[in-house]
């Protein structure tokens, strides 16, 4: 089935996947389904074809609209089953990837997956974003910070921007509420040092509703007392 994924990646995103990369995606899908059934609740999306489109191709869409530098440090916040971080790392082996996830069972899956797929130089962070944002080796260290389906944007930017270096970018993968969320996040962006550069529309084959990538530039350092303590951003958005 990965031939279909490769064809779509080339056709839609001008992204060429080698035979080895296609094999990695096939193994990824198999591991995801196996663990999802027996060990951890990783995804509500099941079936190889749906996984290829709604997880893998959706993740790879980032590379079609964002110029991710060679060797960039990229962190995936609230990665869950590894999306979008692991597909990006498969397609771009040069990326230095960190996967941030608060649930220990999901981290165990990601560590297993990295071994099976022979993904070297991947960092696993079993922590909440509010905690990671204050760790000296994580704060304002990343060229690219990505998140998919983690939180409403006024909340999410408090998770993402503290991790991005000055001049870096945050990418929030969103649904139909993207423009409304951007408007409502204006105050949080101002406080935290971010500015929305643009919103890109992504249309996936066999998916009726478009997806949106909200691309945020880090234009100023985030004040040191952000992010606030775990749970506070969700309870009291900026």
Q: Which residues are part of a known binding site for S-adenosyl-L-methionine?
A: 78, 83, 101-103, 129-130, 148
Cα–Cα distance, 238 to 155 (Å, whole number): 7
Binding-site members are 78, 83, 101-103, 129-130, 148
Backbone angles phi, psi at 137, to 5 degrees: -85, 0
Contact of 145 with 171, CB cutoff 8 Å: yes
Q: List strand residue ranges (DSSP E) for 103-141, in order.
A: 122-125
* Measured CA distances, 69 to 14, 95, 169 (Å): 17, 8, 11
Q: List strand residue ranges (DSSP E) for 31-134, in order.
A: 73-77, 96-100, 122-125
Cα–Cα distance, 167 to 140 (Å, whole number): 10
Which tokens belong to 234? Answer: 């969700």
Residues in the chain, overall count: 238
Residue 51 gets which letter from DSSP? H
Partners of 104 in the β-ladder:
none
Spell out the residues 6+ positions from residue 127 whose beta carbon is closer than 8 angstroms to its own: 100, 102, 135
Is residue 123 helix, strand or coil?
Answer: strand
Cα–Cα distance, 142 to 77 (Å, whole number): 12
Backbone angles phi, psi at 69, to 5 degrees: -60, 150
């Amino acid at each position: 089935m990965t031939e279909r994924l490769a064809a779509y990646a080339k056709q839609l995103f001008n992204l060429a996947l080698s035979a080895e990369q296609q094999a990695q995606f096939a193994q990824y899908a198999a591991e995801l389904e196996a663990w999802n059934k027996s060990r951890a609740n990783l995804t509500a999306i099941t079936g190889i074809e749906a996984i290829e489109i709604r997880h893998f191709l959706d993740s790879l869409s980032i590379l079609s609209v964002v110029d991710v530098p060679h060797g960039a440090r990229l962190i995936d916040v609230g990665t869950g089953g590894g999306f979008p971080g692991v597909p990006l790392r498969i397609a771009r082996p040069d990326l230095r990837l960190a996967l941030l996830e608060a649930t220990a069972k999901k981290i165990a899956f990601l560590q297993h997956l990295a071994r099976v797929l022979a993904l070297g130089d991947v960092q696993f962070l079993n922590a909440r974003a509010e905690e990671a944002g204050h760790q000296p080796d994580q704060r304002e260290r990343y060229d690219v910070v990505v998140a998919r389906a983690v939180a409403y944007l006024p909340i999410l930017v408090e998770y993402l921007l503290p991790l991005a270096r000055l001049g870096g970018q945050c990418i929030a993968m969103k649904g139909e509420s993207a423009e409304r969320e951007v408007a409502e996040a204006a105050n949080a962006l101002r406080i935290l040092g971010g500015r929305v550069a643009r919103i890109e529309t992504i249309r996936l084959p066999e998916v009726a509703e478009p997806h949106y990538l909200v691309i945020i530039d880090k234009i100023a350092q985030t004040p040191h007392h952000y992010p606030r303590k775990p749970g506070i951003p969700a309870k009291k958005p900026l």
